[in-house]
A and B are shown apart, each in its own frame.
Chain A
Amino acid sequence: MQLHSVLRAAAIACAVLATAGCGGGTAPSGTTVKIGVDLPLSGADASVGQSTLNGVILAVEQANAKGLPGGLKLEVYQLDDAVQGVHNPGQGVANVRTFVSDPNVLAMVGPYNSNVAKAEIPITNEAGLAQIGPSVVADGLTIGPDATQLRRTNPTANTFFRVCTINSRQGSAAAAFAKQFGWNTAYMVDDNETYGLDLTSVFSTDYQKLGGKILGSDHLAPNAQDFKALLLKIAAAKPAVLYYGGVTSTGGGLLRKQMFDTGIGAMPFMGGDGIPDLNTVAGKDADGAYYTIAAPNAEKLPSAQAFVKAYVARFHAPVGAYSANAYVATQVAIDAIAAAATANKGAIPDRASVVKGVAATDLQSAIGRVRFDAAGDIRNPVISLYGFKNGQPSFIKQISI
């Protein structure tokens, strides 16, 4: 393990050095404006990464078709942050440095995962590059002392925004849903990553506030494949629901699957927006699993119908959990770029004016009205609940928090 990590670190260091070398500080040239997109495009997260990228592509294609001031053209500049099949903060950092050193990149959308965002935000903050997250929900990215630490270079100039709801609201909603289903006792398991830890800590607080009882909690070891020992322990505790804070690829899928091997397959399994792809690992065993998404269900929203139609026509695939968010995040970036370009008499604007434009966003979008508060979070978010039926996700209900 040590040797592998050392080699990987060395490879990343090489990549960072290589990208840092190329032309930072030069002025943008030509009429092409690039939108950097950092997502896990290979590996276990590839299916959600691709459907998120599709949202960006659709927004850019539509904007290009409509035309931008000064005859500017938009281009999607995507990089993959997965290493050995799993999203990797080090790779995310390398990718963002690549964006920063390209003067034609005026904004970026991404990443998909909170721990990657945590590594990236200090860099976009330092470079003054607008970064809009479609799906990163960890609280500490925008609020609290953690966020202050992330913005240490330019504490007053926030460059990070997100169109999804923060975790704490997702955890609260999950606690509320669990109580509504009459599950009065819970066991919590998380994957020990930023996102998972946030989710379980908020779920725990709110669930107990609502009168639920937490019977125990545990963390998964990284790269583990066998969770039967843990599940036997949970089986003995007999909770009404197993709440999982984490994503499918860090153990969620196998955890659900092995519940059936340890005789607790009938126990409901609940998680956050890290497990909408649970069925890719658990197959039919995903039935009985529930998850919250920190966004409204695009297919149910009247405002999203045009988006859904255009998406399906363009990609011949169903809309992913965060496709609409990525689409809107990109629209926010494009609107800010267009407004700044107009003010700059049609020439490519500077990054600072784009950041200002994003902060001032007030957009009637596919996922509802988008306005950011001072921290960069969206106001009045909606959270939806899904469950698996016959191995496929199906929408149950949504609440506004």
Chain B
Amino acid sequence: MHAFLDQLVNGLALGGIYALIALGYTMVYGIVELINFAHGDVYTLGSFFALAILTALGVSGEVHGVALGIDIAVAVVGAALLCGIVGVLIERLAYRRLRNAPRLAPLITAIGVSFVLENAMQLWRGPAPVSFPSLLPNPSFVFGPLTLTLKQILVVGLAIALMAALQSFVKTTALGKAMRATAQDRDAAQLMGIDIDLTIAITFLIGSALAGAAGFVSGVYYQSTWFFGGFGAGLKAFTAAVLGGIGNIAGAMVGGFVIGIVEAFSTWLIGGQWANVAVFAILIIVLVFKPAGLFGRAVVEKV
């Protein structure tokens, strides 16, 4: 029982990071039907930005009290903002011109952008894993058989809070309405006076900002980051988005947690080398029986 709960919490924390990245995949796909393969690298970039901000703040070890709150806030907001800007730039420079090109062209471009970001990060911070300051004290909270650490609470809490904020933004604001309209029918939305370019840029801004926040969280959680880390995490987050039903925000969240838990449990029960196999096997099974994902609606082909 004890091991079961430990693995469950561990899987949830891991899934929280996947979920935050998956949100960006799902938003961008929902609106421009582009699988933004560079998204995982934006997430890694976020961890490097957060590290740079923490270094500039002079943080090198544990911080307590009010200073901890300020440092976290500055690092999260800073990393999210910088990543958001990078996301907008990527969209402007690499994807906008290809918006009406055949599907394959922006996909290949996205892979190209991914290489560019990976190599830029390798040049910036070197190829080896880089240490992240152990910002959070790491006390454990014991509830009966359940043990939680502060880091795990931070990851899961932040993921859920950001998802809730995003959901209410998309559902209630005018801008969110514009995003939903653009996702449904770009041309019709444009005819109704919606600025498509701006709406898509904002989608990239928000999606990349969430990846930036996820980058900070993963840095704090693992206390290390490296330039290539976004590749594997991005791929699993993409799987999470597909599993939940790509284009669906709540689905991406649930997908992320499911994948985190599957990964933890398959490592525990089958063996570490089979974790990826289990994750992708589940993906295939879900897609066979529910091609639109767990929460996706079957898409009617636009004629």
Contacts and interface: CB of A to CB of B under 8 A. Distances in A.
Interface of A: 1, 3-4, 7, 42-44, 46-47, 82, 84-86, 189, 192, 218-221, 223-230, 232-233, 236, 249, 253-254, 257-258, 261, 280-281, 283
Given A85-B227, A223-B232, A232-B268, A42 B273 contact: no
B111 A4 contact: yes
B7 A232 contact: yes
A186 B263 CA distance: 25
Given A44-B127, A229-B264, A223 B273 contact: no
Given A219-B271, A224-B275, A254 B263 contact: no
Interface string B211-234: 000000000001110111101110
14 contacts: A3-B37, A43-B127, A44-B128, A44-B129, A219-B272, A219-B273, A226-B14, A226-B263, A228-B14, A229-B263, A229-B275, A236-B2, A281-B131, A281-B224
B276 interface: yes
B256 interface: no
A261 B223 CA distance: 10
Contacts of A7: 111
Contacts of A229: 7, 10-11, 14, 263-265, 267-268, 272, 275
- Which size bracket describes the interface of B in this complex? 35 or more
B122 interface: yes
Contact of B131 (A189, A223, A261, A283): A283
Given A232-B6, A236-B3, A225 B229 contact: yes
Given A221-B276, A258-B222, A232 B228 contact: no
Interface of B: 2-3, 6-7, 10-11, 14, 37, 111, 118, 122, 127-129, 131, 138, 149, 151, 222-224, 226-229, 231-233, 235, 263-265, 267-268, 271-276
Contacts of A281: 128-129, 131, 224
B127 A257 contact: no
Given A84-B118, A283-B131, A223 B231 contact: yes
A249 B222 contact: no
Contacts of A249: 128
B60 to A, nearest CB: 11
**Which of A221, A223, A253 has the most chain B CB atoms inside 10 A of its CB?**
A221
Contacts of B2: 236
A227 B10 contact: no
Contacts, number: 105
A280 B131 CA distance: 8
A224 B235 CA distance: 12
Contacts of A47: 128
B119 to A, nearest CB: 9
Given A1-B235, A220-B273, A236-B3, A257 B268 contact: no
A85 B127 contact: yes
A219 B276 CA distance: 12
A253 B129 contact: yes
Nearest to B230: A225
Nearest to A189: B272
A257 B223 CA distance: 8
B129 A221 contact: no
B127 to A, nearest CB: 4
A100 B35 CA distance: 43
A135 to B, nearest CB: 18
Contacts of A224: 232, 272, 275-276
A85 B122 CA distance: 8
B271 A42 contact: no
Given A3-B111, A229-B263, A82 B232 contact: no
Nearest to B263: A229
Given A218-B272, A253-B129, 16 more contacts: A85-B128, A85-B226, A85-B227, A192-B273, A219-B272, A221-B275, A225-B222, A226-B263, A229-B10, A229-B11, A230-B272, A232-B3, A232-B7, A233-B268, A257-B223, A257-B224
